[in-house]
Amino acid sequence: MKPELTHDEAFAALDAAALDALDAGEREAVLAHVALCNICRPELELLRATAVQIAFSTPLDSAATAESRKRIGSRLMARAAADVPSRGPAIEWSKQPVAGGLGIPDPAGEHKGRKTPTPIKRVGGLPRRRYAEWLAIAATILFVVSGGLLVFAASDRENLRTSLKFELARSQHAQQSRDSLLAVVASRDSMLAGMTGRDVAMMTLTSSAAKAPFAWMFWDKARNTWTLIAHNMPELKAGRTYQLWLVTRTAKISAGTFDPQGGNAVVRATYALAPADLAALAITEEPTGGMPQPTGEPVVAVQAGK
Amino acid sequence: MQAGDERALSVFYERWFPVVHGVITRILKSVDDVEDVVEEAFWQAWRQADRFTSERGSVQTWLLTIARSRALDRLRATRRLREDSIDDGTSDQAGTAAEAAVVRSASDPLLDVEHAERRTLVLAALSELPREQREALELGYFGGLSQTEIAERTGQPLGTIKTRMRLAMQKLRERLSLLREDAR
């Protein structure tokens, strides 16, 4: 057998293939390509249909063939009449001699002469109807088995799809948890950095009340972060909140609002402020949402530098 | 015919006998061989009718391929026995005979009109081919020779034969496109 042909090689040989004018090896290689090529297959069919037209160029001498036509016709019809009761068993194509490499099996095998026509080979000697019944049964079994396999495959695929969804959801959840933890850790790291950095200034905010609230402010001047840790903060009434103020000589700057839990709170803010500009820190009680400027007395406060 | 109706076979035979007989006669010399092979071709068509599907080609292509295949089988078997050879004068004689046949067919009331018209068109298309291209085509189709065998027989390089055959087929394809569509 010739090595596998490229498409171009096979395509160029299709004309000769249609005429069955290829050598055996080449023909085999071309047909192997054609069987798999959606371009060459219809092209070869078209060329074969063209080649067949050449048959019509043959002379038809009706006078000379009239007798021949009658003789052949009589024999053919007699054979057909004898064949009708059992006509139809499938010819076993795979075991038929292939004529001239044209792919047309010869059902009669080697020619035996017209007086003793060769019986047609039948599959297993089965009558056509019975053979057809067996074929139908086999086809039904095949259909049922195929259907079962299909259902099984579909079910299996659905299970896999469900498992995949579950794993994806779990993975997403794990990813979210991981992100949350990382965020918490990052926040704590940041807070620790804001409290322990080289440029951190710590200030204590105090009060004169009986159960004195107090707070520590950690100001990381390098990162412009402010971290307030407050304790003993009086419980707020409804509609009220605490607001933290950075007080300069010219302004009182809100650094955020907070609602303590059990009197304790941690507040973080970022605000760039020149160290010399800070005059004081103060926490006031304000309406929920905060105010642009402090409206109440400071709950706790500290002057800068103390 | 696919249902096993003998009357259908009879009609089929009457319709296609002229061209089947013609092509087999062209390939084989012996009258006895011709009759045998014509009968075998129709017999095979009868037995395999249930395998014919129009999606794979026309009845004409199917039947004529069977007929040619059986004839070439016989020819090759005869060659093996006698070391015989096909008629070297295929091309010239074919042209002459074909032209004569056109004249005869036009005046023969028994000849199938459709076949006659078709033959006229095919002959016209073939006659337009250069002699050497037609020769390559006919040695392949009627002689059952491979391109290599044609090259040996004609003394031409294999590449030349391939080119001639390809060009001939391309021209025929173009000229006979209407016939292919009709045959569907």
- pLDDT score recorded for residue B66: 92
* Alpha-carbon distances, residue A133 vs A88, A89, A128, B1 (angstroms): 13, 12, 9, 21
Instruction: Kindly state the average pLDDT of the residues A112-139.
Output: 58
Task: Place A64 in a pLDDT band, splitting at 50, 70 and 90.
Answer: low
Give the domain ranges of chain A: 1-54, 142-196, 200-303
Q: CB contact, 8 Å: A52 with chain B? A: yes
Task: Place A128 in a pLDDT band, splitting at 50, 70 and 90.
Answer: low
Lowest model confidence (mean pLDDT) among A55-69, A167-181, A230-244, B90-104: B90-104
Which of chain A's residues have a Cβ under 8 Å away from the Cβ of B72? 20, 99-100, 102
Q: What is the pLDDT of residues B125-155, one digit of tens each?
A: 999 999 999 999 999 999 999 999 999 999 9
What are the structure tokens assigned to B93, written together? 């004689």
Is pTM beyond 0.90? Reply is no
Which of chain A's residues have a Cβ under 8 Å away from the Cβ of B51? 91
Q: How far is residue A72's CA from residue B32's CA, in Å, rounded to a whole number?
A: 11
- pLDDT score recorded for residue B151: 94
Instruction: Kindly state the average pLDDT of the residues B34-58.
Output: 86
3-state SS class at B59: helix
Task: Place A289 in a pLDDT band, splitting at 50, 70 and 90.
Answer: confident
Amino acid (1-letter code) at residue A162: T
Task: Place A115 in a pLDDT band, splitting at 50, 70 and 90.
Answer: very low
Q: Does the pLDDT at position B106 exceed 50? A: no
Q: CB contact, 8 Å: A81 with chain B? A: yes
Contact A242/A286 with Cβ under 8 angstroms? yes
**CB-CB under 8 Å, B14 with A100:** no
Amino acid (1-letter code) at residue A198: R
Contact B147/B164 with Cβ under 8 angstroms? no
- pLDDT score recorded for residue B39: 93
Q: What is the pLDDT of residues A148-182, one digit of tens each?
A: 788 777 777 777 877 787 777 878 778 777 777 88
Closest chain A residue by Cα to residue B50:
A88
Terminal-residue alpha carbon distance, chain B? 18
Q: What is the pLDDT of residues A84-96, one digit of tens each?
A: 655 544 333 333 3
- pLDDT score recorded for residue B136: 94
- pLDDT score recorded for residue B145: 92
Whole-complex ipTM: 0.78
- pLDDT score recorded for residue A84: 63
Instruction: Kindly state the average pLDDT of the residues B44-66.
Output: 84
Phi, psi of A253 (to 5 degrees): -105, 125
Residues 126-185 of A with CB under 8 A from B: none
Q: CB contact, 8 Å: A114 with chain B? A: yes
**CB-CB under 8 Å, A16 with B166:** yes
